Amino acid sequence: MVGSSLETRVRGRVERRILKALGEGRRGAYEDIIDAHYASIYRLLLFLTHDANVAEDMTQEVFASAWAALEGFRGDASVKTWLRRIAYNLYLDAERRRKRDASLAGKRGESEAGVAADPLSRIMADEHLHRMYRALDRLEDQERAILLLHYLDGLSYREMARVLHQPAGTLKWMTHHALEKLRALVIGKAEP
């Protein structure tokens, strides 16, 4: 735990230096932010979208949006949390558009077909991973996002509260509930 605290303080100092350099107009500092966070933003969006191309496009859009909104960044949250909030909002917007378009076109079964053809699903040969992947896919968007932000991305409940605009205590409860639902889906005790 002590190592974790030290690591957090060091990251905080590095982040403050980068933000100061940005404030001074040094464009290279923004490249440092991209280098530090690109992979984790992409990974989060890949798990949310199940599509490498969409995740790549959305990741680039996250950093373009962040660049455009940089002057409004007050530093209330960490850069990590701020970027994940942008990513999650972009994902929710894309999902709303996709659902609206599917509804208008009458394509109710399109989302199930898209998951089956996902290249990531074909690569994952291990049955346990397939089961986990399918179970995650059956969770509601917010449940999946909570689990991915906390367990995959390593965000604390306080950081997740800033990303998802929910109280930390509520997120603890929601995480517990999402884990129970995921567990039931994985072991096959949940209804489809």
- pLDDT tens sequence across 78-107: 788 888 989 998 998 888 888 777 766 664
Token output for 80: 């990590």
Q: Is the pLDDT of residue 147 over 50?
A: yes
Last residue of a domain, one of 57, 86, 119: 119
- State the average pLDDT over residues 16-31: 67
CATH code: domain of residue 166: 1.10.10.10
User: Is there a single domain that holds both residue 93 and residue 164?
Assistant: no
Share of the chain above pLDDT 90, in %: 6
Q: What tokens were used for 145?
A: 């996002």
Residues 10, 75 share a domain:
yes
- Same domain for 25 and 102: yes
Dihedral sign (CA 2, 8, 12, 15): positive
Domain CATH for 75: 1.10.1740.10
Cα–Cα dist 86/83, whole Å: 5
Span 152-179, mean pLDDT? 87
Are both 6 and 51 inside the same structural domain?
Answer: yes
Q: Residue 40: which residues within 8 A CB-CB, separation 6 or more?
A: 80, 153
CA distances from 24 to 14, 18, 29, 71 (A): 15, 10, 10, 12
> Does pLDDT of 65 surpass 70?
yes
Ranking 47-56, 64-73, 112-121, 168-177 by mean pLDDT, the lowest is 112-121
Examine the domain organization and report whether 104 and 145 are in the same domain: no
This prediction has a pTM of 0.55
Which tokens go with 5? 């605290």
Q: Which amino acid is at 57?
A: D
Same domain? 109 vs 137: no
* Boundary of a domain, candidates 84, 102, 119: 119
Considering the domain architecture, whether residues 54 and 133 belong to the same structural domain is answered as no
Same domain, 76 and 109: yes
Residue 35 CA to residue 69 CA, distance in Å, equals 18
Of 81, 17, 94, 89, nearest to 51 by C-alpha is: 94
Report helix angle 79-105 to 27-49, nearest 10: 40
CA gap 33, 86 in Å, rounded: 14
Residues 16 and 101 in one domain: yes
Please say if the pLDDT value at position 140 is more than 60: yes
Provide the token pair at 47. 């798990």
CA distance 67 to 183: 39
> What pLDDT score does 1 carry?
46
Two tokens, residue 39: 């992979």
How many domains, in total, are found in the chain?
Answer: 2
What pLDDT, on the 0 to 100 scale, is given for residue 124? 46
Same-domain check for residues 95 and 139: no
> Which tens digit of pLDDT belongs to each residue from 108-134?
444 444 544 455 544 544 566 667 778
Q: Which domain does 76 fall in, by range? A: 1-119
Tokens of 66: 């962040």
pLDDT at 8 over 60: no
DSSP class of residue 72 equals G
